[in-house]
Structure 1
Amino acid sequence: MKLRYSALYIAMSLVLTPGMVLATDQDASSPNPSAQNPAPAERKVKQLSAVSVTATKRETPLQKTPVAVTAISPDTLEKERVTTVQDLTRLVPGLQGTTEGDHGVVTLTLRGIGNDSAKTEYADPEVATFVDGVYAPRAEAASGLLLDMDGVEVLRGPQGTLWGRNSTTGAISFQTAKPDLNAGFSGNALVEAGNFNQMGARAAINLPISSTFAMRVAVVHEQHDGYVDYQNPASELPTVAQQQATYLATGADPAKFQPINAAQYIHSADKYNAQDQSAARVSALWQPSDSFKWDLSYEYFLDRGTPSLSLMQTPRAGQDFWSALIDTAPYLDRTSRTLRSRMDWNINESMELSYIAGYNRYSGKSDFDQDVGVSVPTSFTTGAQYQDDRTNYSNYESYSQELDLKSTGQQTLDWIVGLYYAYEDNNIRFDIPIMNGTQNGSVSWQGSFIQPKETVESKAIFGQTTWHVSDHWRLTAGARWSQDDKENRGGINWGWDYDPTVPQVPIAPSTIPGPATGFAVSTHNDGKYSKGEPTWLARVDTDISEHGLLYASISTGYKSGGIQDGGTLFKPETLTNYEIGTKFAFLDGHMTWNSAVYYADFKDFQLSAPITYPNGNRGLGFSNVQGSTEVLGFESELAYSQQDDRGNLIFSAIPKKKLGTLTYAGSNDYQGLPPCAPQSGIASCMDVTGNDLPHAPDVSLTAIYEHDFHLGNGGRLTPRISAQYQSSQWLSYFNLGPGDQQGAYTRGDISLRYTEPSDRWWVSAYVQNVSDGRVRTSAGRFQLPNQSFEYVSQYLAPRTYGLQLGVWF
């Protein structure tokens, strides 16, 4: 595992500098907690009812915002060790997440709805991610290891009216910590170490340059060894005599026999499921007057870890669970560069103009063992398959601009209008060599997917207004018109032509596909897609006494269609969501209870998967589910914060999550599906009509509790426990049985923190996944030579533990 010494050195240097305050449970009204460093006796209990959010693109109290939104503070992010988008799932009702091994992308599901289309070049998920108001097409690099966050808001339900692209079922809004003109020279730092050679460091410094200009610099590095060990091929491979007997039984030429080359299996290298990531952000604030300010930031993110490998759910006899017989070494190289800008101008006391712009360039390469060592070859050309999923290159360039004009202050009508424009230019080459037996065997099939230019252009105009009918009643209406144009220029899928005169060797990155190298055109992917779609919102909310809120809304969501392999088009999906919610505050604002019940009706819901065509070639296919895909759910969040006690209960129930009509559903991740009807256009499939949606447990519950014990020296000892229960859930829309399912489970984390009396440093010990449970986040199926099936899955991390040291100044 490589170490990013520069980032670690900077962060450790800051650790040795005295001082720093984290925003934990100090008085929310304090303008600069880090400058005050209150003694424990002077600490004030945080009023949860004072938490503000920007879900409606204006700052409002969480308890007075008629939207289902979870607000996660920097303190919670740090205590729960949330460093990736996927880590948010245990803190948000109905949010599930997984990573896709071959591309290493993050796939999110919210309220039972999600898809893996995010691993295509177009990256159109149903859950949109935004950083400082800028849309991030790729969630895995959206927030740079959640570096130096000011908070995270997860908005549930359609958010397309205000938030726009691909927020069909929700949006995640990350707010980074901004420079502070009044905080002085201040900062924070943290270092940690744990099992699997885990090491981490992060730090941030606020730099006031003048009375009108300030900067902030933040860095982070996280690394750990991989969880998946390499199996010894000598203990699994048959003897040479056995190999030869098997080979000759096929009637093959004896003169061409060769023993399996054990050296082609990986014995030692960086392991799968390893982390080696770094990020840095430089932010600037210029505020020449009370009426104008400009926030500008540049963020750089590096990922040099390894992909996550799928493991056999039932390992071979004598093999450890966290191990695999691997013949493709893991490789991952991703870089993201992001520029974000926001200008706010108070035109007068009742009107504000904002200009939000962003630019991102994201590139990546990877290598992944797609056969995951399920089958052991019986000879160099029989008994197994060698499959290498390799991204030779992928480049994604995007930029966006948004202009908002909104009312400010207390008015009878609160309103906002805006214009939005975004553009993407993407390209990728993805190779799949599949060989019989080993990589020295004959070609089973292999292909190269080369998309030199795929563009996305999105334009929108939107507006929303809230009418304060009385002191206690409000009516809100909003609408948005979105226009999406997509184009694939020169895209070609190449497939193996089975020319006996061409040597049968795995395709290499340097191979130029064509007749001379054994390839023929499988599909030309040129095509254009253009469509506009309206989305709208209607909502009523009212105060229930002084400390309660009731709201009801009808809203629509929209995700554009596009171009699939072969140049054919698939339809957009639309959603109508009906929702009733309540928000209550108790105990003088120290307890809140927010709940919502919703019913979502999807039309033309999009499913995508890698498929095989009747001629044996492969591609990525999209299907629109006919009729209504229906989801009915309930979610509730209870939060409590008193002087020494803090707790949360996060509950979600999804009793109904039924697919509409889809007769021909296929996926190469699930081998052995029945042959498909000729009119389907794919080789194998099954009818999934009415099946349950995946990643949607009937019940999910997270409980978090911590208590401060005051020691004689004035310090505090704080134990914290976090536990999550989920009922069983399907891992695909095939609903194929126990192998395609994660059973009900409980997973717990514990920590113990000591904070010294002056609140200038703390030390914490933690254990995550205390029971070392094996929690599946995805599944797939391989068909073995004896026609039986072996299921594989990706899993959440095993038990991890470590120590953290934090300081503030």
Structure 2
Amino acid sequence: MTDRLIRRPRLGLASPIQIAVLALLAGAAHAQSTEAPAPQAETASTAAAASADGKDSKALPQVVVTATKRSTSLQKTPIAVTAISASTIEDNHVKSMLDVFNLVPSMQGTGQGDHGIVSITLRGIGNDSAKTEYADPEVALFVDGVFAPRPEGAATMLFDLDGIEVLRGPQGTLWGRNSTVGTINMKTAKPVLKDNSGYLEVGTGSYNRLGAKGAVNIPLTDTLAARVAFIHEQHDGYVDYQKPTQYTLAQQQAAYNAGNTAGTFPAFQPINYNLFVTGGPKYNAQDQTAARLSFLWQPVKTFRWDLSLEQFADRGTPAMSLMQTPRAGQKLWSALIDTAPSLKRDSTSIRSRMEYDMGGMALAYVAGYTSFKGSGTYDQDFGVNMPTSFTTGATHQEDNTVWTRYRSQSHELTLQSTQKQTVDWVLGLYYAAEDNGIRFDIPIMNGTQQGTVNWQGSFIQPKETVDSKAAFGQATWNLTDALHLTGGLRYTHDDRKNIGGRGWFWAGNPAAPQIPLNPTIDPTDPANGYSAGNINDAHYKGSKTTWLARATYDLSKESMAYASVSTGYKSGGTGDGGLPYGPETLTNYEVGYKTSLLDGRMTFNISAYHMKFKDFQFSAPVIVNGNRQFAYSNAEGAKVSGLEIETAWMITNDDKLQLSASYTKTKLGQLVAASNDYQLPTCFDTTLGGNCLNVTGNDLPHAPKVAIQLMYEHVFPLANGDQVAPRISYHYQSANWLSVFNLGEGDRQKAYSTADIAVRYSSKKNWYVDAFVRNVSDEKIKTSAGSSGSFANPIWTAQYAAPRTFGLNAGYNF
């Protein structure tokens, strides 16, 4: 199977990558044939320790996960879960959620431009519009068990982690809110009692990259310890600035006269070409810093309290959508910019976990609080057209987050059995609350900022709240040593309010100055030319009971199989204009098999699933009665089926191979969809806006039918005790759509292959140097798309994954 995946020429693998992959796998095969490990009778834990002469074979390290709210071996956990260890995070240079996607079967994602967030798709289900205070994601994100409600949380830096667990399939019974198709739990490194240790790393690389991170564990007393961790990453933007075509005054006057046939334009003025941005910070730049202070207090063996305070600051720039067919003479990674990029985000998070061992039972209380505020500016016209006069030939559009803030808190109390019994059980109560607010401005001018008003609006949501309460329980009946039956229930009640939300739109008052809307303008003052359009005051209440039924059978000490039926739920709510939308529910059918082979030197896990959605939520910006708003609709449903495989193989003590693969098939139920992000035909349904398309039966976006990730590492021991470890990570995926509209090549990412390579030199004196190249063949990988112009002749734009980058890190462990 591996041979086939590498040799097929239609995968489109660049020749240097293909040679590298073949060479590395040939080396693995040679190592296996010349150093075949002898069969062993030891258990995996015994085999993991090499003998003094170094000839005994090493097993893969046992991985412990908390997917079932208790610590269990990954190979004995009857859930499709990917456990990404701290070493894997280091080897793959994971710094944010964007770096995680290729490591997990059926997982996709993209950075969204105007709000600077990361959207996540799992098993073909996601929400590209989950970038406002309205839209919730389908994949729930947790840090140390604390739910992160807003999508900005997915973009924060991943640093000083013990690991990441990605649970696929509905996880509502135990994990709660919005875990419709999956849950991601990031586990931060915890302080250790009576331990002095730490590390420091610095790095450099392409696009003037500078990076630094470190952590130190500090024993304060015999029962109290602290850990301080930090990270900073910065690099210049990928998007170069284009210079505008400068027309003569005569040419501008001619274009002005041709467009002013109705005589409504203001007096002619020349284009101020200084309004175009040609210097300063570029789009797609990173400048992020985070720090975490953690404490552990363990006064007695039966009680433990982990407490952390984390601060995050982002001063980078948003990701720009680029013209898929560059303007003549321009590079792909460039744009004509007339709105300088900015992004300012700050968040403070407090997380706490208390555990008390009561002897046969354990009581745990997990609490979290997050405060976030931010602002940003974004060039939403993408520079696709060149202005021919100050008010013709192009459109100037900004998306400006004047301010946004949210505060969230969550509390979870669980009581569970701890010693294996005939019935293992867990009971819990959960409460979460959010308070969101935003002012989001969209000025659209004809031609340039100097031109006439095309449309302008300010969306001000001063207070939007969410209250969610739940009670849950799950029990596993151990009928025999081999057969286990699990059942779970969760009741959730959601209460959502929008208080005082308004959309203020340009009213065409001739006495008001026609200038782009900006933070100094108060749109609530009629003298400025705006009137209240959308009245967003609304109140939504809803509740749902979700459940899980699962049977697990241990085929042997090394293998198990499971089958489950589970349901998922995501709350309904209201959109602009106070318009309600219904909740989204699904039923997931799944079977799986996990096994350890070759005395623990190989693991093989496979799962197959079929998901049936009801009232699948679709959201997008639309135009209704000439005004722009954010709208929701519920599709009749959707169906998703798939297969996922994960395997790891310790070929020899010095060779490790990992493979993950997925097959996904999707079909959308009945839905007529509208969106401002695409040029669509005139809509036959006036309630959906000016343009729409029947997308019933279409494939869901970000769901390639086939995706494969292959990673190989070989360790070369040196005579002085040091070692050199080269590694390669190869990724292939088939073509996938970028929206539900399935509009052709502009709305599609073709099949592609790419690879990352790295080599690490590790000294026995605890220092190391790590060099890497990511996206070696510099593939142009579209992650989302949009169009402007007309439906018959669209101009296609897209967000792209990062181009080829390289870097060098050096670190010291102490």
How does the TM-score come out when normalised to structure 2?
0.92
CA distance in 1, matches of 2:629, 2:568: 28
How far off its partner does 1:255 sit? 7.9
Q: Which residue matches 1:472? A: 482
Q: 1:755 aligns with which of 762, 773, 786?
A: 762
Q: Which residue matches 2:20? A: none
Q: In structure 2, list runs of 5 or more residues that go unmatched.
A: 1-42
How far off its partner does 1:547 sit? 1.1
Compared CA separation, residues 50 and 678, structure 1 to 2 (3 A): closer
Q: 2:399 aligns with which of 372, 389, 394?
A: 389
Deviations 1:397-455 (A, max 9, x none): 00000000000012111100000000000000000000001111100001000000000
2:690 is matched by which residue type in structure 1?
A: A
Q: Which residue matches 1:125? A: 137
CA distance in 2, matches of 1:344, 1:127: 27
**Matches for 1:421-460 after TM superposition, within 5 Å:** 421-460=431-470
How far off its partner does 1:379 sit? 0.9
Compared CA separation, residues 44 and 117, structure 1 to 2 (3 A): farther
CA distance in 1, matches of 2:493, 2:55: 51
Deviations 1:202-237 (A, max 9, x none): 00000011110000000100000000011112xx23
2:713 is matched by which residue type in structure 1?
A: E
Q: 1:562 aligns with which of 560, 569, 573?
A: 573
Q: Give the conservation status (yes or no) of the 8 Å contact 2:698–2:741.
A: yes
Q: Does 2:248 match 1:239?
A: yes
Q: Which residue matches 1:770? A: 776
1:685 is matched by which residue type in structure 2?
A: C
1:802 is matched by which residue type in structure 2?
A: G
Q: Give the conservation status (yes or no) of the 8 Å contact 2:618–2:632.
A: yes
CA distance in 2, matches of 1:50, 1:450: 51
How far off its partner does 1:595 sit? 0.6
Compared CA separation, residues 39 and 468, structure 1 to 2 (3 A): closer
1:409 is matched by which residue type in structure 2?
A: Q
Q: Specify the SS of the correspondent of 1:337.
A: strand
Q: 2:805 aligns with which of 780, 800, 803?
A: 800
Q: Which residue matches 1:98? A: 110
Compared CA separation, residues 502 and 550, structure 1 to 2 (3 A): same
Q: Does 2:77 match 1:65?
A: yes
CA distance in 2, matches of 1:142, 1:462: 26
CA distance in 2, matches of 1:756, 1:29: 26
CA distance in 2, matches of 1:466, 1:122: 37
**Matches for 1:475-514 after TM superposition, within 5 Å:** 475-513=485-523, 514=525
2:601 is matched by which residue type in structure 1?
A: H
Deviations 1:706-734 (A, max 9, x none): 00011222211111000100100000000
CA distance in 1, matches of 2:689, 2:355: 52
Q: Specify the SS of the correspondent of 1:113.
A: coil
How far off its partner does 1:239 sit? 2.5
Q: Specify the SS of the correspondent of 1:779.
A: strand
How far off its partner does 1:258 sit? 1.1
CA distance in 2, matches of 1:275, 1:64: 40
CA distance in 2, matches of 1:624, 1:678: 15
Q: 2:559 aligns with which of 548, 565, 570?
A: 548
CA distance in 2, matches of 1:78, 1:140: 23
**Matches for 1:292-311 after TM superposition, within 5 Å:** 292-311=303-322
CA distance in 2, matches of 1:589, 1:289: 36
How far off its partner does 1:492 sit? 0.3
How far off its partner does 1:571 sit? 0.2
CA distance in 2, matches of 1:386, 1:585: 59
How far off its partner does 1:534 sit? 0.5
How far off its partner does 1:757 sit? 3.0
Q: Which residue matches 1:657? A: 666
Q: Which residue matches 2:653? A: 643
Q: Give the conservation status (yes or no) of the 8 Å contact 2:145–2:366.
A: yes
Q: Which moved more, 1:332-341 or 1:41-50?
A: 41-50
Q: 1:690 aligns with which of 690, 697, 721?
A: 697
Q: Which residue matches 2:709? A: 702
State the number of aligned residues. Answer: 767
How far off its partner does 1:132 sit? 0.5
Q: 1:249 aligns with which of 247, 253, 258?
A: 258
Q: Specify the SS of the correspondent of 2:577.
A: coil
Q: Which residue matches 1:5? A: none
Q: Which residue matches 2:794? A: 789
Q: In structure 1, list runs of 5 or more residues that go unmatched.
A: 1-26
Q: Give the conservation status (yes or no) of the 8 Å contact 1:676–1:683.
A: yes
1:338 is matched by which residue type in structure 2?
A: S
CA distance in 2, matches of 1:651, 1:747: 15
Compared CA separation, residues 557 and 41, structure 1 to 2 (3 A): farther
How far off its partner does 1:569 sit? 0.8
Compared CA separation, residues 413 and 787, structure 1 to 2 (3 A): closer
CA distance in 1, matches of 2:702, 2:558: 35
Q: Which residue matches 2:733? A: 726
Q: Give the conservation status (yes or no) of the 8 Å contact 2:461–2:500.
A: yes
Q: Give the conservation status (yes or no) of the 8 Å contact 2:165–2:184.
A: yes
Compared CA separation, residues 548 and 806, structure 1 to 2 (3 A): same
CA distance in 2, matches of 1:498, 1:103: 28
Q: Does 2:181 match 1:172?
A: no
Q: Give the conservation status (yes or no) of the 8 Å contact 1:431–1:507.
A: yes
Compared CA separation, residues 42 and 361, structure 1 to 2 (3 A): farther
Q: Give the conservation status (yes or no) of the 8 Å contact 2:134–2:575.
A: no
Q: 1:670 aligns with which of 644, 665, 678?
A: 678
1:475 is matched by which residue type in structure 2?
A: L
Q: Does 2:419 match 1:413?
A: no
What is the percentage of aligned positions where both structures have the same residue?
56
Q: Which residue matches 1:16? A: none
Q: Specify the SS of the correspondent of 1:48.
A: coil
Q: 1:631 aligns with which of 640, 645, 663?
A: 640
Q: Specify the SS of the correspondent of 1:388.
A: strand
How far off its partner does 1:750 sit? 0.3
Q: Which residue matches 1:13? A: none
Q: Give the conservation status (yes or no) of the 8 Å contact 1:356–1:401.
A: yes
How far off its partner does 1:28 sit? 10
How far off its partner does 1:290 sit? 0.6
Q: Specify the SS of the correspondent of 1:256.
A: coil
Q: Give the conservation status (yes or no) of the 8 Å contact 2:133–2:150.
A: no
How far off its partner does 1:696 sit? 0.1
Compared CA separation, residues 49 and 761, structure 1 to 2 (3 A): closer
How far off its partner does 1:795 sit? 0.4
How far off its partner does 1:517 sit? 0.9
Q: Does 2:282 match 1:271?
A: yes
Q: 2:602 aligns with which of 587, 591, 604?
A: 591
CA distance in 2, matches of 1:583, 1:289: 37
Q: 2:300 aligns with which of 289, 296, 301?
A: 289
CA distance in 2, matches of 1:298, 1:379: 53
Q: Which residue matches 1:535? A: 546
CA distance in 2, matches of 1:725, 1:775: 12
Q: Give the conservation status (yes or no) of the 8 Å contact 1:85–1:140.
A: no
Q: Does 2:86 match 1:74?
A: yes
Q: Which moved more, 1:116-125 or 1:309-318?
A: 116-125
1:187 is matched by which residue type in structure 2?
A: G
Q: Which residue matches 2:471? A: 461
Q: 1:620 aligns with which of 627, 630, 635?
A: 630
**Matches for 1:88-237 after TM superposition, within 5 Å:** 88-142=100-154, 144-182=156-194, 184-233=195-244, 236-237=245-246
How far off its partner does 1:41 sit? 6.9
How far off its partner does 1:739 sit? 0.2
Q: Give the conservation status (yes or no) of the 8 Å contact 1:237–1:376.
A: no
Q: Specify the SS of the correspondent of 1:523.
A: strand
Q: Give the conservation status (yes or no) of the 8 Å contact 1:40–1:757.
A: no
Q: Give the conservation status (yes or no) of the 8 Å contact 1:63–1:585.
A: yes
